Amino acid sequence: MLRYQRAGERFGMNFRMNDVTPSSPPVPDCLPAPMPFSPERRLMLAGMLTLCVAACSGAGLPGFEQTPAVPAVGAGGVKIALILPLSAGGQTGIAANSLKNAGELAIAEANAPNVQLIVKDDKGTSDGASAAAQEAVNEGAELIVGPLIAANVQAAAAVARAAGRPVIAFSSDASVASRGVYLLSFMPATDVQRVVSYAAAQGKHSFAALVPDTPYGQVTGGAFQEAVTRAGARVTALEHYGPEHNQMIDTAKRLAPALQEADALFIPDGADTLPGILEALATSGVDLKRLKLIGTGVWNDPKLFRLPQMQGSWFPAPEPSGFAAFAQRYRARYNSEPSRIASLSYDALSLAAALVRTQGSQRFSETVLTNPSGFAGADGLFRFHPDGTSDRGLAVLEIRNGSAVTVSPAPKSFAGS
């Protein structure tokens, strides 16, 4: 496995990094310093605040459409572009800035690589992503990391493909993966395969599913059926529910008879909705204590760990220790919490720096990037397939006494590698 050195530690292909619990993300620090409130300065402050709010929210003002360029990191000869929706509003912009910080941290820790990181803002739009990718190519970027949003990945990839540049993007939408466009993200199908195969290995042979009527529900529902078949088990029922509480109750009533034949129930939904689903099932006469509840990585939320109905349930996730170590270093550098997905950027840029140092002119070739042994990052093992999709080595965690405990460790290597 390819190795690189950081702060006296050695990591490699497996190249290693680390995992944490999500916390409040960083807040843009864009407000001006206080000043005496004379009438003239009140006017000045009002103008500055107007511009600041526009910048933080991504809103444009006449004459201020251009987002200030982010200074390049490093002065090496190999240029790598990081494309993110830095000026997008809301949580997207906050996550993007956390991803930017994490990427810069990776370069700073990468033992003085021959790398120059060029950061580009796609403004959260496909047109912005296309323009950012074209700028990156024009400036000599050999690899594009990002964007974050599926439509923007497609737009940037079109430019990169024409220029013969590979892309490592952060979308979890497998439809935007393709040859040369690799998705380093948490793929729903990988989650489902891991938890279903573990449940089957523990003697669960009859599976039912209750999935949201959303794009995520459609993807996880299809992956669930494939995973159960692959495990040699059977699906007793699969129902989709709508967002309204009455719809949940109606769906739970339809599913309840089939649950008499099931020993595991798959519900891929998060903390905002799952309590209502569990209540609807209990109201419909379902004995939740008899069923093993299983879910996806969206269950990795402390709010769910406290629910009595969730005790003993299983879900897949990266080993917690990796992100925790990464987050500790992030906090020390930026005095703020990283977003949960910040480790994606850290892993991508750490990998890129390692390849620059060890793989010569073939550093970003398909053969190197799709090494079947994969790489080890902050969130554990991952590898890219030639079609752009990826695998992850995940643990299975059990919710127990208000916390999540590893019951099946993440693999140390990929089968068949």
CATH code of the domain in which 255 resides: 3.40.50.2300
pLDDT for the residue 402: 93
Residue 91 Rama label (left phi>0; alpha psi -120 to 50; beta): alpha
The pLDDT tens digits for 213-222 are: 999 999 999 9
| Domain stops at, among 317, 339, 357 | 317
Residue 188, CB-side half-sphere exposure with 13 Å CA sphere: 23
Residue 408 within a domain: no
Average pLDDT over residues 339-347: 96
Average pLDDT over residues 133-161: 98
Average pLDDT over residues 305-334: 96
Give me the residue label for tokens 């993200």.
Answer: 185
Radius of gyration of the chain (CA): 23
CA distances from 197 to 82, 200, 296 (A): 36, 5, 13
> How far is residue 160's CA from residue 138's CA, in Å, rounded to a whole number?
11
Domain that holds residue 331: 3-24+68-186+322-392
Residue 213 within a domain: yes
Rounded (10°) angle between helices 245-255 and 274-283: 50
Residue 38 within a domain: no
pLDDT for the residue 70: 72
| Domain stops at, among 317, 342, 374 | 317
pLDDT for the residue 89: 87
> Of 78, 38, 22, 31, nearest to 52 (Cα)?
31
pLDDT band of residue 73 (cuts 50, 70, 90) is confident
As a whole-number percent, the residues of the chain with pLDDT over 70 amount to 82
Q: Beta strand 3-6 with 9-12: parallel, antiparallel or unpaired?
A: antiparallel
**Number of other CB atoms surrounding residue 123 within 10 Å:** 22
Residue 292 within a domain: yes
- What's the number of domains the chain is made of? 2
In terms of pLDDT, which residue wins out, 138 or 50? Answer: 138
* Mean pLDDT rounded to a whole number for the chain: 85
Q: Beta strand 380-384 with 403-408: parallel, antiparallel or unpaired?
A: unpaired
> How far is residue 253's CA from residue 231's CA, in Å, rounded to a whole number?
28
Average pLDDT over residues 137-142: 98
The pLDDT tens digits for 238-276 are: 999 999 989 999 999 999 999 999 999 999 999 999 999
Residue 49 within a domain: no
Lowest mean pLDDT of 35-44, 151-160, 215-224, name the range.
Answer: 35-44
pLDDT(374) > 90: yes
Residue 212 within a domain: yes
For residue 379 the two structure tokens come to 């969130």
Residue 347, CB-side half-sphere exposure with 13 Å CA sphere: 33
Residue 44 within a domain: no
pLDDT(23) > 60: no
For residue 412 the two structure tokens come to 């140390």
Q: Is residue 274 located within the same domain as residue 178? A: no
pLDDT for the residue 310: 97
**Number of other CB atoms surrounding residue 302 within 10 Å:** 12
Q: Is residue 95 located within the same domain as residue 148? A: yes
Q: Is residue 223 located within the same domain as residue 139? A: no
**Number of other CB atoms surrounding residue 43 within 10 Å:** 10
pLDDT(33) > 80: no
Q: Is residue 178 located within the same domain as residue 113? A: yes
Render the burial of 207-236: b for 16+ CB within 10 Å, e for the rest.
bbbbbbebebbebbbebbbebbeebebebb
pLDDT for the residue 29: 31
pLDDT for the residue 417: 60
User: In this structure, are residues 393 and 410 in contact, taking their beta carbons and an 8 Å threshold?
Assistant: yes
For residue 290 the two structure tokens come to 């008899």
For residue 358 the two structure tokens come to 């060890």
Q: Is residue 129 located within the same domain as residue 218? A: no
For residue 339 the two structure tokens come to 């977003």
Residues whose CB falls within 8 Å of the CB of residue 73, separated by 6 or more in sequence, listed in order: 104, 107, 108, 116, 117, 119
The pLDDT tens digits for 74-89 are: 678 999 999 999 999 8
Q: Is residue 136 located within the same domain as residue 196? A: no
> How far is residue 381's CA from residue 358's CA, in Å, rounded to a whole number?
19
Q: Is residue 248 located within the same domain as residue 382? A: no
pLDDT band of residue 2 (cuts 50, 70, 90) is very low
Q: Is residue 181 located within the same domain as residue 224? A: no
pLDDT for the residue 74: 66
According to DSSP, the residues that pair with 237 across neighbouring strands are: 208
pLDDT for the residue 68: 54
Lowest mean pLDDT of 57-66, 115-124, 234-243, name the range.
Answer: 57-66
Q: Is residue 313 located within the same domain as residue 330? A: no
Residue 59 within a domain: no
pLDDT band of residue 113 (cuts 50, 70, 90) is confident
Q: Is residue 75 located within the same domain as residue 93? A: yes
pLDDT(9) > 90: no
In terms of pLDDT, which residue wins out, 415 or 128? Answer: 128
Q: Is residue 87 located within the same domain as residue 226? A: no
Q: Is residue 182 located within the same domain as residue 193? A: no
Average pLDDT over residues 159-174: 97
As a whole-number percent, the residues of the chain with pLDDT over 90 amount to 79
| Domain stops at, among 298, 317, 336 | 317
Average pLDDT over residues 271-285: 94
List, as one string, the DSSP characters of 39-64. HHHHHHHHHHHHHHHHHHHT---TT-
- Whole-model pTM: value is 0.81
CA distances from 92 to 97, 121, 235, 341, 394 (A): 9, 12, 37, 11, 26
